[in-house]
Amino acid sequence: MRSTVSVIKADIGSLAGHHVVHPDTMAAANRVLADAKRQGIILDYYITNVGDDLELIMSHTRGELDTKVHETAWSAFKEATKVSKELGLYAAGQDLLSDTFSGNLKGMGPGIAELEVEERPSEPIAIFMADKTEPGAFNFPLYKMFCDPFNTPGLVIDPTMNEGFKLEVLDVYEGQSVLLNSPEEIYYLLGLIGTMARYVIRRVYRKADNMIGSVTSIERLNLIAGKYVGKDDPVLIVRLQHGFPALGEALEAFSFPYLVPGWMRGSHYGPLMPVSQRDAKATRFDGPPRLIGLGFNLKNGKLTGPSDLFDDPAFDETRRVAAIMTDYMRRHGPFMPHRLEPTEMEYTTLPTIIEKLKDRFKKEDSVKAKPSVYASKDQGMD
């Protein structure tokens, strides 16, 4: 049976600032999805949140980018936005960049990850949802899960994983992608995905049979809107077991609270902290960036679960380290490396400051040319 899991998220307004989704907005979305289930548009669903993002998890047999499924999500977000406005919640409808639905949600603001699979006898999946960061934040754990035998011993000891995986990397600025093989091309792969703001691992395929293993949302709101309107807050679906990473291998990739771009006003680096659903709310400095994980089984197009994957003392040390890293980064104040690099600040209010001061800058004769960021072709890189 071919089944599809669609995870679609949007910030439609939140309580007390960029903090947490209000339960009344979730109830409004629930009414829309329940009606879609009665009509047979979707077979099952689960609604949750991470921070100020409303997350819709839907299962169906209609495939990816289905008009009716996307229209259902759009209607849910619109109804939730109405409630947000009635309650005076902050940034009501922030991620909805259009007033009219136009066939599917691509380019309209909400983040989308859809996984269509031929169901295995047992189809375990993990869904990871982050707040206060961007799609490239999943590059590091995806590399650990699918390419690093120190994280995923199945790459060594599971014959169905020995051939490795293919990773589709998207250049979000140019709108073009490249397919790279692991382990043969991991140096090329790392050369790209280390630049999280530009290169995003969109999909991963098992090399032996081209079976899809994961999919990541790739929407960059500032590139769509042309200005900063909120962080992208990505979602990730990962297939587990039977030739894919085991659940423990997928979770192990998040045991180190690595730095991600986003956090306060989308302009700072901070540690990604894996938390339980009950702790999925932005607090200190509108963060630190949060991650939740939910485990499901998919059978005949219906969802069994979820299990709250990070609601476990095994991740207490990760959270403690993240809190220490939060202190360390915050001590930098407005200075890099806490603040994002200039190219990422282009979509914030920083350009308006430069514009206001441009007539006050005086050219120095001693400064002859703008230094190049990169060495020339003839110059060594030692």
Q: How many domains does the chain have?
A: 1
378 pLDDT above the threshold of 60: no
Find the range with the poorest average confidence among 76-80, 178-182, 261-265, 376-380.
Answer: 376-380
Q: Are 170 and 202 in contact (CB under 8 A)?
A: yes
Using alpha carbons only, give the angle 281, 285, 287 rounded to the nearest 5 degrees: 30
| Better-scored residue on pLDDT, 363 or 177 | 177
- Domain-embedded: residue 112: yes
Residue 250 lies in a domain: yes
Q: Please provide the DSSP assignment of 254-311 as one string.
A: TSS--EEEESGGG-EEEE-EE--GGG-S--BTTBS-EEEEEEEEEETTEEEEEEETT-
Collapsing DSSP to helix, strand or coil, 45 comes out as: strand
Residues whose CB is less than 8 angstroms from the CB of residue 290 and which lie 6 or more positions away in sequence, other chains included: 50, 51, 130, 131, 132, 272, 273, 275, 279, 280, 281, 282
Predicted local distance difference test score (pLDDT) of residue 232:
79
Domain containing 83: what range?
2-330
pLDDT in tens, 326-339: 999 999 999 999 99
Kindly list the catalytic residues: 11, 228, 231
For residue 364, is pLDDT > 90?
A: no
Tokens (6 digits) for 261: 């771009």
Q: What is the pLDDT of residue 107?
A: 80
* Strand-pair category, 165-171 with 111-118: unpaired
> Cβ(127)–Cβ(237) under 8 Å?
yes
The model's pLDDT over 294-316, given as tens digits with 9 standing for 90+, comes to 999 999 999 999 999 999 999 99
Residues making up the annotated binding site are: 11, 18, 52-53, 90, 94, 103-104, 131-132, 231-233, 241-242, 265, 286, 347
Going 12 to 17 to 20 to 26, the CA torsion angle's sign is negative
Please calculate the CA angle 246-44-135 and round it to the nearest 5 degrees: 55
Q: Is 70 exceeded by the pLDDT of residue 145? A: yes
Whether residue 369 is contained in a domain is answered as no
Q: How confident is the model at residue 374 (pLDDT cuts 50, 70, 90)?
A: very low
Least confident among 133-137, 138-142, 206-210, 350-354:
350-354
**pLDDT interval class at 363 (50, 70, 90):** confident
Dist. CA 235–CA 248, nearest whole Å: 19
Quick one: pLDDT at residue 369? 58
- Polymer length in residues for the chain: 382
Q: What sign results for the dihedral spanned by CA atoms 211, 170, 238, 12?
A: negative
Instruction: Note the pLDDT of residue 220.
Output: 65
Q: Is residue 93 part of a domain?
A: yes
pLDDT at 365: 76
Question: Does residue 189 fall inside a structural domain?
Answer: yes
Residue 379 placed within a domain: no
Which residues are annotated as part of the binding site for dihydroxyacetone phosphate? 18, 132, 265, 286
- Asked whether residue 18 is assigned to any structural domain, the reply reads yes
Q: How far apart are CA 42 and CA 127, in angstroms?
A: 18
Average pLDDT, the chain: 92
Taking residues 342-357, what's their average pLDDT? 81
State the average pLDDT over residues 53-79. 97
Q: Provide DSSP, 226-265.
A: SS--S----EEEEE-SSSS--HHHHHHTTSS--EEEESGG
Bridge partners of 180, per DSSP, are 167
Whole-model pTM: value is 0.92
Binding region for beta-D-fructose 1,6-bisphosphate: 18, 90, 103-104, 132, 241-242, 265, 286, 347
pLDDT at 104 over 90: no
Confidence of residue 225 (pLDDT cuts 50, 70, 90): very low
DSSP E strands in the chain: the ranges are: 2-10, 44-50, 53-60, 111-118, 123-131, 165-171, 176-182, 199-206, 212-216, 235-239, 259-262, 268-271, 273-274, 290-299, 302-308
Considering only CA atoms, which of 325, 239, 332, 253 is closest in space to residue 288?
325
Above 50 in pLDDT, residue 133?
Answer: yes
Residue 316 in domain = yes
